[in-house]
Amino acid sequence: MIRFYLNRELAQKLGFKLSRWKRWSREFLPPDPLGGLQSGFARQYTAADAFQVYLGGHLVSNKNFSIPETKIILEDLKYWVATQYFSYPGAEKRASVQSPVREYRIFIFMNRDATQALPSPSYLLRRLIDEERTRGNGSGFITERYIQNWLKIGDLVSKGGEPDVVPDLVAARILYISKVYQMYKERLQE
């Protein structure tokens, strides 16, 4: 059975003011299929819808993306998020395979072109496989093993699938998507 949530419940559980939650909902989700503001029906959210609003709020408030940039990012990542965190046709078969990935990180590059009104983002997906912490000579070290690839080709990548020029990782904003999703799940279950 699918669980549905209401605005007030989500705002309370996720720690937002109701007015902010409703604004983000209007910004980051398509119009409510049951009607508008005057219809008399309260909007109902699936877990995937609620996470899209939560993620959009995270991108705006914590990663300092504008609302239009966030809408582009959410649309670009929509399918990937759905396949990683929510059920979809064929998910039962995939769930039986144990994934070695401990954490997902998405490096977001905002490619600005003077001819375009909005930037065209590109995404480098890093899958953390293993992490080893060591101490020595008064300092600590972290050694990570990961796999990475470009999620969305965008303007940075040529027809061959690899970037012509690898962008500076310092210019990227890192979305720790696994941690954001984990926080979302914990707050929703409280």
Total domain count, the chain: 1
pLDDT given for residue 160 in this prediction:
41
Count of C-beta atoms within a 10 Å radius of residue 77: 23
Arithmetic mean of pLDDT over the chain: 82
Average pLDDT over residues 85-90: 69
Beta strands 120-136 and 173-175: pairing type?
unpaired
140 Cβ partners below 8 Å, 6+ apart? 133, 134
Q: In the structure, what pLDDT confidence band is assigned to residue 164 with cuts at 50, 70 and 90? A: low
pTM of the model: 0.82
Per residue in 109-144, pLDDT (tens digit) is 887 776 777 777 888 899 999 988 888 777 888 888
Average pLDDT over residues 1-5: 83
Q: Helix %, strand %, coil % for the chain, to 5?
A: 40, 25, 35
Q: In the structure, what pLDDT confidence band is assigned to residue 171 with cuts at 50, 70 and 90? A: confident
Q: In the structure, what pLDDT confidence band is assigned to residue 165 with cuts at 50, 70 and 90? A: low
The length of the chain is 190
Per residue in 43-54, pLDDT (tens digit) is 889 999 999 999
Average pLDDT over residues 65-92: 84
Contact between 25 and 60 (Cβ < 8 Å)? no
Per residue in 32-43, pLDDT (tens digit) is 877 665 666 788
pLDDT given for residue 157 in this prediction:
41
- Containing structural domain, residue 160: 5-189
Average pLDDT over residues 11-38: 87
pLDDT given for residue 93 in this prediction:
47
